[in-house]
């Protein structure tokens, strides 16, 4: 009898299923995935038939794996302290299968184990396979699942049978060619409707609210185009360095780590047209249209519109920090970028001529992710402001860490004289709804269990993103001997990034 069967019912519960995590010994499982499932269980969002199966090379018992996961939940869950009574029931559904990913025996053992869980836990033969492994492991895992008969075609589910889905973590390739190879590898076993490519940014509450904000309010959508918008700024800033991931960052850099996926998705959601419905493909169709409307980054345009940088020594929150080239596992003459700023144009009817200034970086002044829509100035200045002009209206959507939406506008100070002041109407999620809001992985995992793909990237999205970014790298490779300019840790990036927007008579916001 499944002890989770009683009382765990809500409108948004997922289907009964077994979640199989390949690479379960890694940090992602302990820090994000199992804490997210625990939080879903506490909030009564898990189905009555539910189980987690960890698969990894290391030999360990079910009890050892459960103890590791309990430590992870105790440390990383947003719900503290851990609920002993609930955990006692929850952990009974956590099991472990040891084996190498290139051995067929691993998949045969897994199939027998899942059959037993169907009987014991009521998981209804539904399978969610989570590939928390490097992309180099994808091929042998999907081949092993297929040969063991663990993958059902989508028509079986459409006809009332069990479903099979696979969740894939980024990085999804390192360029267009590698992304296409990975897509082909997964497509050899799974239909596209069964593939959920996860980008945790899309699970953040403010990102989800961007669609609601735009398409559920008549106030904003009519002015969300070139007639009223001067420009858009998107910032994804981190104050941390590479945090011991020097070897990883030497291979990938900030453009592949953040710009190609997180930042491009934020741009799509900001610039997309209203979809015909909220069906997953209707929303993703509009995002793909944005990507196909981006002005191609030819080599000469990259030189004009893209600035890269690398952090030098500096101070962050009062602490002295080393330069990127002084980090462990980083080459002393490294040319890897830790900062990038771009001027991007969406060449369509809505956005023609409106620049999108986007930037992402490590060791910047503070951690913040923000979308700022700056509106045009009034056509005729009736009032005089102290600085000689009226501040432009700005709508800023803060994705993290202080989630919310702020609208800045001009008003008059009380008194006998007309003195103008820039003020803000500020909505904060924490103040309005409480601070203990669900984390991104909770929403995305629940959606994958429900088969709701809206917040996951489709194959053509991934390939269009890489096709755009590859042109930037082509230009950089032609300048292989030119190191990126340095910027002080704790600053907002190199001076050249300021010049990028200053040439247009604009300046970066200080979020």
**Residue tagged active-site, from 113, 200, 262, 380:** 262
Query: How many angstroms separate the CA atoms of 109 and 385, rounded?
Result: 74
Query: How many angstroms separate the CA atoms of 394 and 397, rounded?
Result: 10
Q: Torsion-angle region of residue 77: left (phi > 0), alpha (psi -120 to 50) or beta?
A: beta
DSSP state letters, 266-293? HHHHHHPPPPSSSSHHHHHHHHHHHHHH
Dihedral over Cα of 387, 389, 393, 397: its sign: negative
Query: How many angstroms separate the CA atoms of 195 and 288, rounded?
Result: 17
Known catalytic membership, residue 157: no
Three-class secondary structure of residue 371 per DSSP: strand
Q: How many CB atoms lie within 10 A of CB 6?
A: 10
Q: How many CB atoms lie within 10 A of CB 295?
A: 13
Query: How many angstroms separate the CA atoms of 389 and 11, rounded?
Result: 52
Burial label for 128, CB within 10 Å (0-12, 13-18, 19+), is buried
DSSP state letters, 289-350? HHHHHBPP--HHHHHHHEEEEEEEEEEETTEEE--GGGSTT--TT----SEEEEEEEB-STT
Helix/strand/coil percentages in the chain, nearest 5: 40, 20, 40
Residues paired with 198 in a beta bridge: 169
Q: How many CB atoms lie within 10 A of CB 119?
A: 8
Annotated active-site positions, please?
A: 262
């Amino acid at each position: 009898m499944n002890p989770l069967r009683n009382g765990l019912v809500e409108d948004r519960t997922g289907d009964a299923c077994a979640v199989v995590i390949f690479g379960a010994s890694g940090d992602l499982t302990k820090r994000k995935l199992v804490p997210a499932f625990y939080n879903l269980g506490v909030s009564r969002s898990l189905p009555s038939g539910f189980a987690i199966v960890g698969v990894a090379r290391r030999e360990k018992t079910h009890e050892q794996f459960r103890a590791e996961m309990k430590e992870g939940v105790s440390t990383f869950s947003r719900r503290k302290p851990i609920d002993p009574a609930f955990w006692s029931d929850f952990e009974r559904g956590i099991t472990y299968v040891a084996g190498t990913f290139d051995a067929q025996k691993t998949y045969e053992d897994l199939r027998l184990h899942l059959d037993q869980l169907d009987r014991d836990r009521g998981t209804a033969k539904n399978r969610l396979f989570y590939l928390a492994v490097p992309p180099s492991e994808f091929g042998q895992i999907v081949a092993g699942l297929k040969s063991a008969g663990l993958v059902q075609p989508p028509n079986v589910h459409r006809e009332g049978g069990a479903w099979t889905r696979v969740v894939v973590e980024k990085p999804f390739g390192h360029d267009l060619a590698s992304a296409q190879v990975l897509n082909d590898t997964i497509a050899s076993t799974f239909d596209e409707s069964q593939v959920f490519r996860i980008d945790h940014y899309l699970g953040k509450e403010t990102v989800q609210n961007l669609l609601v904000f735009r398409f559920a309010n008549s106030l904003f959508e009519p002015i969300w185009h070139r007639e009223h918008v001067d420009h858009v700024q998107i910032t994804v800033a981190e104050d941390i360095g590479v945090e011991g991931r020097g070897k990883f960052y030497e291979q990938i850099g900030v453009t592949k780590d953040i710009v190609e996926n997180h930042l491009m998705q934020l741009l799509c959601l900001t610039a997309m047209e209203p979809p015909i419905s909220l069906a997953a493909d209707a929303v993703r169709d509009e995002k793909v249209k944005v990507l196909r409307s981006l002005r191609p980054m030819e080599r000469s345009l990259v030189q004009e519109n893209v600035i890269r940088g690398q952090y030098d020594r500096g101070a962050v929150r009062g602490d002295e920090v080393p330069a990127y080239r002084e980090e462990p596992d980083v080459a002393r003459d490294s040319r890897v970028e830790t900062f990038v700023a771009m001027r991007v144009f969406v060449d369509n009817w809505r956005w023609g001529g409106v620049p999108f200034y986007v930037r992402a970086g490590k060791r910047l002044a503070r951690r913040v992710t923000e979308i700022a829509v700056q509106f045009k100035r009034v056509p005729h200045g009736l009032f005089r402001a102290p600085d000689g002009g009226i501040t432009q209206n700005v709508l800023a959507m803060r994705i993290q860490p202080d989630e919310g939406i702020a609208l800045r506008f001009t008003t008059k100070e009380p008194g006998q004289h007309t003195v103008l002041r820039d003020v803000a109407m500020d909505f904060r999620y924490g103040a309005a709804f409480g601070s203990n809001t669900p984390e991104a992985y909770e929403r995305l995992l629940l959606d994958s269990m429900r088969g709701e793909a809206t917040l996951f990237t489709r194959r053509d999205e991934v390939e269009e993103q890489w096709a755009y970014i590859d042109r930037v790298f082509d230009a950089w490779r032609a300048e292989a001997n030119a190191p990126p300019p340095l910027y002080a840790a704790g600053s907002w990036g190199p001076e050249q990034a300021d010049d990028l927007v200053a040439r247009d008579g604009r300046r970066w916001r200080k979020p």
